[in-house]
């Protein structure tokens, strides 16, 4: 019965002719999964189901998405966590359309044969505006080489409705560096030649964020101003590689930012440096320290000492004297973060981070 059922399914869906996988005839579950996923083995240029298409001369990928109600926060704008999840999904769909996707979490066929998985080593996000509920956005993504054993992936998100107005404005940008890890030993690995041969034809020199000299992120200790202890990963926090997904780290970090500050400010930049993967049994501690020297002086453009108000340049001290800068305007704009797993005899770093914030435009007072 098993063989007959599989043969029928194969003839109906064209599995035998479409896929190069060797499937046991009595493994109906595996056969059913192959049919349901329908992973292409050749490069696809258009994916009508995911609203995606290949761009950038055949190496980039663009996907159109709608911001759903469950992806926004109380202010009806998309949360950073939702944005990062969308970017991650777009990256996986890019690999899907390339025809290189194996049965892993974005892993190529060569990676699967070598028991390798992708892990993020560094991530940088710049945000100018956040999409709103119901807005249609276009996400572009592409990849490039990063050193001898890494890969860089970039994203850019724009509003479809106002794209012509902000054609030169990079509304969201995410730059990340990925390296390979052996799934069994959990150790970093060099890129095998067969894997390099798979992915290198997709490499491009284009970058969303210009690489500057990396600013050191200091390691925090238990004396940090804000501490959230005894964080325990949930089963829902684990991805297909059986470790806590990197997007969850961002949630743990941002939970330490004071609520009062979040009501008047939005995240502008986040930089993360990953040191160790986090498993389901780890107990995590989130540390956060404000950089007190970074005070919000310019309500429109960060890092300026003057503000344009009704066409005149006014120093921040003058604005403060006229009551136009309140207590929240003096909050630190940069925070240093650390996630660590609590252990004996010592704690181990999971990820270091730095966040930069700016005033929400909707909360800026204007003179009449």
Mean pLDDT, the chain, integer: 79
Catalytic residue at 94? no
Q: Which residue among 94, 243, 265, 337 is the active-site one?
A: 243
Give pTM, 2 decimals.
Answer: 0.78
- pLDDT of 211 reads 65
Catalytic residue at 243? yes
Q: What is the pLDDT of residues 317-356, one digit of tens each?
A: 444 444 444 544 556 899 999 999 998 778 999 999 999 9
User: Where are the domain boundaries for CATH 3.10.129.10 in the chain?
Assistant: 44-212, 215-368
Buried b (16+ CB within 10 A) or exposed e, 156-191: bbbbeeeeeeeeeeebbbbbbbbbbbebeeeeebeb
Q: What is the pLDDT of residues 20-76, one digit of tens each?
A: 444 444 456 767 777 888 888 899 999 988 899 999 999 999 999 999 999 999 889
Catalytic residue at 288? no
**Regarding the domain with residue range 44-212, which homologous superfamily does it belong to in the CATH classification?**
Hotdog Thioesterase (3.10.129.10)
**Any bridge partners for residue 93, and if so which?**
none
For 168, how many CA atoms within 13 A lie in the half-sphere containing its CB? Answer: 0
Q: Which residue among 93, 278, 288, 337 is the active-site one?
A: 278
CATH code given to domain 215-368: 3.10.129.10
């Amino acid at each position: 019965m098993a063989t007959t059922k599989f043969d029928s399914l194969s003839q109906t869906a064209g599995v035998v002719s479409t896929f190069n996988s060797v499937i046991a005839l009595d493994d109906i579950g595996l056969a059913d999964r192959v049919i349901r996923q329908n992973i292409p083995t050749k490069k696809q240029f258009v994916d009508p189901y995911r609203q995606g298409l290949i761009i950038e001369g055949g190496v980039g990928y663009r996907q159109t998405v709608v911001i759903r109600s469950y992806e926004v926060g109380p202010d009806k704008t998309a949360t950073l966590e939702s944005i990062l999840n969308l970017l991650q999904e777009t990256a996986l769909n890019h690999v899907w359309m390339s025809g290189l996707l194996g049965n892993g979490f974005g892993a190529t066929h060569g990676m699967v044969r070598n028991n390798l998985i992708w892990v993020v080593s560094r991530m940088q996000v710049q945000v100018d505006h956040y999409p709103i509920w119901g807005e249609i956005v276009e996400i572009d993504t592409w990849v490039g080489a990063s050193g001898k054993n890494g890969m860089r992936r970039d994203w850019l998100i724009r509003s479809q409705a106002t794209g012509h107005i902000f054609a030169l404005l990079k509304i969201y940008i995410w730059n990340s560096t990925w390296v390979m890890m052996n799934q069994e030993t959990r150790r970093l690995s060099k890129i095998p030649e067969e894997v390099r041969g798979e992915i290198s034809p997709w490499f491009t020199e284009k970058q969303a964020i210009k690489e500057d000299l990396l600013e050191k992120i200091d390691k925090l200790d238990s004396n940090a101003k804000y501490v959230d202890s005894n964080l325990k990963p949930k089963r829902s926090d684990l991805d297909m590689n059986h470790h806590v997904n990197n997007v969850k780290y961002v949630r743990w970090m941002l939970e330490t930012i004071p609520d009062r500050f979040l009501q008047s400010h939005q995240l502008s930049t986040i930089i993360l440096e990953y040191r160790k993967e986090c498993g389901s049994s780890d107990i995590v501690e989130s540390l956060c320290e404000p950089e007190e020297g970074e005070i919000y002086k310019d309500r429109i453009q960060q890092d300026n000492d003057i503000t344009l108000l009704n066409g005149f340049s006014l120093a921040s001290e003058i604005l403060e004297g006229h009551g136009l800068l309140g207590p929240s305007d003096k909050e630190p704009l940069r925070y240093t973060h650390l996630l660590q797993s609590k252990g004996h005899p010592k704690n181990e770093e999971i990820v270091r981070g730095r966040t930069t914030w700016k005033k929400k435009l909707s909360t800026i007072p204007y003179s009449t």
